[in-house]
C-alpha cells in the first residue's frame, strides 16, 4: 500500500474502520437497552414512517463519537435531515463533495424496533470524495457486526464473507421492503414483488434495508431490491456486498453511487435476470 493510500484510511494511529466499528457497537448496545422502552413515537413523511427519541439519541451519540475523533469530517445522518425524498436528495447533494463524509442511519428498521421485532441495525459508512471506503452494519440483537473496507474485503465477526453461489432466480432467496411512500414507492415495489415472487424460491421482508444488504454479503440472501431508499440505508451495505464479491447497481443495472435510491444488490449470478424481471414488470422506479 502506498503512503497516499495509507493516508486515506488512517490519521496518525486512528483507523477510520476502528472508529466506525466502535461507534456502531456503542450505539447498538444503547439501542438494545432501550428496546421496549421508547417514550415517544412521531410520524415523519407518512403514517408508515416512524421515528422515536431513541433514533435521535442514537444519532447524537454516533455524531458525537465521530466528531470527537474526526472534528473536520462532515456528517450526514437521517435524523438531521427533514423528512421526505426531496430533503434527503438535497442534503446528499450538498454533502457529497466533502473530502470525508460519514453517512449514518442510527436505527435502520425503526418499525421493527417499535414493535420489538428483533431485526434492526445501525449503519455507518465513510465516503471519501463521494466514494464509500468503510461500511459497518451492526445488529445488536444478534450481536452481528458486518464490516467492509474498500479493497480489503468484507467480514462478519472477523471472518471473511462471501456472497452465495446461486446462478438462477429459481434457486434464489431474495428480499425486498415495503417502503414508506404509500402512494409513490410502495405501489412500484408491490409490482416488482408480484412479478418476482413466482420466479424465485421465496421472498423475505425483514424490515431493515441495511441488514438485507449485509445478508446478501453474507450469502444468506441471493439478492435484494427496493425502490425509494436513501443514502444512509445503502452506503455501508453497498460496500459490504461489493467487497463480498457481489454486485450493486440501481434497478436499471447502472453502477451504484451514493445518490442511488432504487437499488439492486445481488450475488452477481442472478443480477441480470432479476434486473430484467423488474424492468419487464415496469417496477424499476424509473420512467420507462
Ligand atoms: C426503513 C427500513 C425498511 C425499508 C424502508 C426504510 P428506517 O428505514 O430500511 O426496511 O423498507 O424503506 O425507510 O425508516 O427504519 O430507517
Ligand atoms: Ca433506514
Ligand atoms: Ca432510520
pLDDT, tens digit, for every residue of 92-146? Answer: 999 999 999 999 999 999 999 999 999 999 999 999 999 999 999 999 999 999 9
Nearest CA among 224, 228, 225 for reference residue 187:
228
Report d(CA 212, CA 138) in Å as an integer. Answer: 12
In this model, does residue 267 exceed pLDDT 60? yes
Annotation marks residue 72 as catalytic: no
Query: How many CA atoms does the CB half-sphere of 193 hold within 13 Å?
Result: 16
Residue 106 CB–ligand 1 contact under 6 Å: no
Pick the catalytic residue: 59, 79, 108, 139? 108
3-class DSSP assignment, residue 42: strand
Cell (9 digits) for 209: 434495508
**Measuring CA to CA, which residue among 210, 219, 257 is closest to residue 237?**
210
pLDDT of residue 11: 46
Closest atom of ligand 1 to 212 CA is 10
pLDDT at 14: 63
CATH class of 3-160: alpha beta
pLDDT of 18 above 90: yes
Q: Is the CB of 123 under 6 A from ligand 1?
A: no
Encode pLDDT of 77-102 as tens digits.
999 999 899 999 999 999 999 999 99
- Radius of gyration, alpha carbons of the chain: 18
pLDDT at 13 over 60: no
Res 68: pLDDT: 96
Which residue in 144, 112, 126 sits closest to 208, CA to CA?
112
pLDDT at 246 over 60: yes
| Per-residue model confidence (pLDDT) at position 42 | 81
pLDDT at 37: 80
- Residue 108, ligand 1, Cβ within 6 A: yes
Which residues, other chains included, contact 121 with Cβ-Cβ below 8 Å and sequence gap of 6+?
28, 105, 107, 108, 109, 137, 138, 139, 140, 208, 210, 211, 214
Give the mutation target among 79, 120, 175, 180 for probing the ligand 1 site: most ligand atoms within 8 A of CB.
Answer: 180
Q: Quick one: average pLDDT of 277-288? A: 94
- Asked whether the predicted pLDDT for residue 1 surpasses 50, the reply is no
Report the pLDDT value the prediction gives residue 239, as an integer from 0 to 100.
Answer: 98
Q: Which residue has the higher pLDDT, 261 or 47?
A: 261
CATH T-level assignment (fold) for domain 169-280: D-Maltodextrin-Binding Protein; domain 2 (3.40.190)
Q: Where are the domains of the chain?
A: 3-160, 169-280
Tell me what pLDDT residue 50 has: 80
How far is residue 207 from each of residues 22, 49, 180, 226, measured CA to CA in Å? Answer: 24, 12, 11, 11
More confidently predicted of 240 and 179 = 240
Amino acid at each position: 500500500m502506498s503512503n497516499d493510500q495509507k493516508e486515506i484510511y488512517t490519521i496518525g494511529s486512528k483507523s477510520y474502520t476502528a472508529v466506525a466499528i466502535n461507534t456502531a457497537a456503542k450505539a447498538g448496545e444503547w439501542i438494545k437497552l432501550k428496546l421496549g422502552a421508547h417514550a415517544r413515537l412521531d410520524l415523519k413523511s407518512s403514517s408508515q414512517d416512524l421515528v422515536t427519541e431513541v433514533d435521535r439519541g442514537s444519532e447524537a451519540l454516533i455524531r458525537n463519537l465521530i466528531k470527537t475523533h474526526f472534528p473536520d469530517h462532515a456528517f450526514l445522518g437521517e435524523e438531521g435531515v427533514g423528512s421526505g425524498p426531496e430533503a434527503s436528495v438535497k442534503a446528499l447533494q450538498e454533502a457529497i463533495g466533502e473530502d470525508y463524509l460519514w453517512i449514518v442511519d442510527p436505527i435502520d428498521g425503526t418499525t421493527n424496533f417499535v414493535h420489538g421485532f428483533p431485526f434492526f441495525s445501525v449503519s455507518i459508512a465513510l465516503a471519501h470524495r463521494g466514494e464509500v471506503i468503510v461500511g459497518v452494519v451492526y445488529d445488536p440483537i444478534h450481536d452481528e457486526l458486518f464490516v467492509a473496507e474498500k479493497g480489503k474485503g468484507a467480514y462478519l465477526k472477523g471472518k471473511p464473507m462471501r456472497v452465495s453461489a446461486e446462478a438462477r432466480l429459481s434457486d434464489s432467496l431474495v428480499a425486498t421492503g415495503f417502503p414508506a411512500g404509500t402512494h409513490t414507492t410502495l405501489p412500484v415495489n408491490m409490482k416488482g414483488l408480484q412479478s418476482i415472487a413466482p420466479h424465485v424460491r421465496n421472498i423475505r421482508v425483514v424490515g431493515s434495508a441495511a441488514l438485507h444488504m449485509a445478508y446478501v454479503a453474507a450469502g444468506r440472501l441471493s439478492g435484494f431490491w427496493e425502490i425509494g431508499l436513501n443514502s444512509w440505508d445503502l452506503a455501508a451495505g453497498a460496500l459490504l456486498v461489493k467487497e463480498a464479491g457481489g454486485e450493486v447497481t440501481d434497478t436499471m443495472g447502472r453502477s451504484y453511487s451514493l445518490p442511488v435510491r432504487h437499488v439492486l444488490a445481488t450475488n452477481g449470478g442472478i443480477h441480470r435476470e432479476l434486473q430484467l424481471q423488474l424492468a419487464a414488470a415496469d417496477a424499476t422506479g424509473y420512467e420507462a
